[in-house]
Amino acid sequence: MRDPYFFDDCDILKNKLGIKDSDKLEQAEVEFSCARIHDLAYSPLLGNYDLAHYCKMHKYIFSDLYEWAGQLRTVSMEKEEALLGYMSIDYAEPHDIEKQTDAILKKINSRNWLDMSLDEQAEKLAQDTADLWKIHCFREGNTRTTITFICQFADSHGMPIDRTLFEQNAIYTRNALVAACAIFKDGDFRKSEYLINIMKDGLKNGLNEENDTSNF
């Protein structure tokens, strides 16, 4: 069955700009989403860090491009990953998305984050980020939405984090997410250390920036 998110005459996601070239659409995504994400760094999107809040953030970031921004995907999907020998992560099936996302976000909200050491925060935050990303709630834009959502969550829960580290290392961040989610029916090949490392560096930088500001 043809992916209903695609234009009828090409394998490009339907978008408000009518772009039917993959490179041009990718560039438009970068430009529009980066502007929205930059705004969120200064004006956080209010919510309870639940599924509704997560969807609201996706809509805010991608509503300039996609009519379905903020809506859970309705089709199964695969993405070939060079890191995995062109296999795909096993993303959640549409009928499981809401249940799995609710469970993960409840877990994130139930943790006693300020009772943890920085190493513990980085490890748990990396695992929760990977678990949320692996669901792939949306047809497109999952990495940017998940990282932005988790960064805002960390900031709001007394864990200032350097968001620019993820923006400036976007390819590394996505590959780290892929590596942290590489679990399949025939084996567990996950390597979480890359995601933990960048999460720890983000928390360290955020803490240093907060300390520098408090000295003025």
* pTM over 0.75, yes/no: yes
First to last CA, the chain: 61
For residue 216, what pLDDT is reported?
A: 46
Q: Which residue has the tokens 């780290």?
A: 176
The answer, yes or no, to whether residue 9 has pLDDT greater than 60, is: yes
In the chain, the percentage of residues whose pLDDT exceeds 90 is: 92
Q: Which of 171, 192, 195 is nearest to 81 (CA)?
A: 171
For residue 83, what pLDDT is reported?
A: 92
Q: What would the pLDDT profile of 116-159 be if each residue is shown by its tens digit?
A: 999 999 999 999 999 999 999 999 999 999 999 999 999 999 99
- Given phi > 0 = left and psi -120 to 50 = alpha, else beta, which region is 197? alpha
The answer, yes or no, to whether residue 210 has pLDDT greater than 90, is: no
Three-class DSSP labels, the chain: CCCCCECCCCCCECCCCCCCCHHHHHHHHHHHHHHHHHHHHHCCCCCCCCHHHHHHHHHHHHCCCCCCCCCCCCCCCCCCEHHHCCECCCCCCHHHHHHHHHHHHHHHHHCCHHHCCHHHHHHHHHHHHHHHHHHCCCCCCHHHHHHHHHHHHHHHCCCCCCCHHHHHCHHHHHHHHHHHCCEECCEECCCCHHHHHHHHHHHHHHHHHHHHHHCC
User: Looking at this protein, which amino acid is placed at residue 109?
Assistant: N
Candidates 3.50.50.60, 2.40.50.70, 1.10.3290.10, 1.10.10.10; correct CATH number of 22-214?
Answer: 1.10.3290.10
Domain positions in the chain are 22-214
Q: What would the pLDDT profile of 62-73 be if each residue is shown by its tens digit?
A: 999 999 999 999
Q: What would the pLDDT profile of 12-66 be if each residue is shown by its tens digit?
A: 999 999 999 999 999 999 999 999 999 999 999 999 999 999 999 999 999 999 9
Buried b (16+ CB within 10 A) or exposed e, 29-68: beebbeebbeebeeeebebebebebbbbbbbbbbebbbeb
Per mean pLDDT, which range of 39-43, 111-115, 210-214 is the poorest?
A: 210-214
The tokens describing 37, both together, are 């994400």
Question: What's the whole-number mean pLDDT along residues 97-120?
Answer: 98
- Computed over its alpha carbons, how large is the radius of gyration of the chain? 17
The answer, yes or no, to whether residue 90 has pLDDT greater than 90, is: yes
Mean pLDDT across the chain, nearest whole number? 95
pLDDT band of 215, cuts 50, 70, 90: very low
